[in-house]
Chain A
């Protein structure tokens, strides 16, 4: 069964460093998403991406964040200068169609620890 994969499973970085989290969505999906979950808090939407551009983003997704689909398979989230408060589990998801109804398939997550 096709699934969303994410690498690495755990990333440790120093404050101020750049990190890139990688995701491989399901191959025939057209919409891609990033969510994050700070320990003990709810899963929060960051950004959605379609047709090589951001279609929606939350207030969390500020100038420190960017997303890219560098090739036909990968979908990346970059944090330019990490802060302590960026420590969280980051989930990638994909769907065939836009949400509001379509199932989003989630990856297992990348745990980011900022020291």
Chain B
């Protein structure tokens, strides 16, 4: 069965600093991987996704993620964080052909001015 682990519950970074949010997945075959962001009072918005091909995926808002099969990881990165990036970030995995997403517990990002 699929599962996702986000080891960091809460991360605080200074505005302008770089960011890396960790995500580890468990799935036997090649997974479909997603990062979603949730701002207060908003729904989950897709930042980026990985299906196959280039392991470095570019997303919206300047985010990128790298799929590393050997480490079962799909970490989210941003070179320079903006105050508006403060939100909850969720990593998710789906099996090929499946309808449901398996989410991690989320990482709350706080940005200090």
With A99-B94, A100-B32, A106-B36: A42-B105 Cβ-Cβ less than 8 Å:
yes
Chain A residues in 8 Å Cβ range of B100: 33, 45, 48, 56, 58, 99
Interface string of B94-110 (1 = CB under 8 A from A): 11111111111110000
B83 proximal to A (CB < 8 A): no
B45 proximal to A (CB < 8 A): yes
B42 proximal to A (CB < 8 A): yes
- Shortest distance in angstroms between A41's beta carbon and chain B's nearest beta carbon? 7
B41 proximal to A (CB < 8 A): yes
Assess the B103–A33 pair: CB atoms within 8 A: no
- Enumerate B35-57 residues with CB–CB distance to A below 8 Å: 36, 41-46, 49, 51
Q: Tally B residues with Cβ within 8 Å of A.
A: 27
Assess the A100–B97 pair: CB atoms within 8 A: yes
- Shortest distance in angstroms between A2's beta carbon and chain B's nearest beta carbon? 12
Assess the A100–B41 pair: CB atoms within 8 A: no
- Shortest distance in angstroms between B50's beta carbon and chain A's nearest beta carbon? 10
What CA separation (Å) do A44 and B92 show in the bound complex?
11
Assess the B90–A101 pair: CB atoms within 8 A: no
Residues of B whose CB lies within 8 Å of any CB of A are: 4, 32, 34, 36, 41-46, 49, 51, 90, 92, 94-106
Residues of A whose CB lies within 8 Å of any CB of B are: 3-4, 31, 33, 35, 41-45, 48, 50, 55-56, 58, 91, 93, 98-101, 103-109
Known: A33-B99, A43-B106, A44-B103. 18 other contacts (CB 8 A): A33-B100, A43-B92, A48-B100, A91-B44, A93-B44, A98-B99, A99-B32, A99-B94, A99-B98, A99-B100, A99-B101, A100-B94, A100-B95, A101-B49, A101-B96, A104-B46, A105-B46, A106-B43
